[in-house]
Amino acid sequence: MATLQAEPTYALLPDARAMHPPVAQPIPGSERANLAAVKLDNGEVSYLSKQAVAQLEAANPNFQKLAEITATQLLETLKPQVIRDKSKVVECAVFQSESPLTAAVVLAPKFLEKYEPLFGPEVLVAMPTRFEVYVFPKIANRISKYTPDILADFRAAAYPVSPEVFEIGPNGIRAVSLLDDR
């Protein structure tokens, strides 16, 4: 389990748009999620105000860089559970941790590079909660097999992110579909 602490940690966190964070970036194509500017302090996530982000940017190069550092630290510490089929082909990887910043791992600059050998140059991700991320290859994926679990996690979460599927590629993150179990 990853724990990032000592002093406050700053991040862009994939988060439910319905939470109305004061500072957020839209995720292209998403109707349900955005990237919220947050601070993790003593294990608790809080949204940053516009004033707090401005103060951080006055003292540091920019907030985006701080968020990339946090995402990179997560990438280095989180180890996904890799799920394979009976032929040993990777179906998906699941990142789960007690860190409320877990979903930010997909924003690490080296995320694709690190997992390209498993999934190829582009991946699809589902982030039902702040604490878990499902990663699938873009081609020949088995998202439908995992949809009931992903949606159950989303519906039961105290801190849900989105029932959408996101593509992570060289051009960043974008929503590509909405999971449906009907």
Burial class (CB in 10 A: 0-12, 13-18, 19+), 111: buried
Interval 126-174: pLDDT, tens = 999 999 999 999 987 899 999 999 999 999 999 999 999 999 998 899 9
Backbone angles phi and psi of 118, in degrees to 5: -85, -40
Q: Which pLDDT band holds residue 6 (cuts at 50, 70, 90)?
A: low
Q: What is the mean pLDDT of residues 58-64?
A: 76
Interval 98-131: pLDDT, tens = 999 999 999 999 999 999 999 988 899 999 999 9
Instruction: Please list, in sequence order, all residues whose beta carbon lies within 8 angstroms of the beta carbon of residue 119, skipping any fewer than 6 positions away.
Output: 90, 93, 135, 136, 137, 138
166: helix, strand or coil: strand
In Å, how far are 96, 112, 130 from 117, measured between CA atoms?
21, 9, 25
Q: Which pLDDT band holds residue 8 (cuts at 50, 70, 90)?
A: confident
Note the Cα 133 to chain centre separation in Å. 6
- The pLDDT score that the predictor gives to residue 1 is 46
**Nearest alpha carbon to residue 150 among 172, 138, 166, 168:** 166
Would you say residue 4 has pLDDT above 50? Answer: no
Q: What is the mean pLDDT of residues 43-68?
A: 85
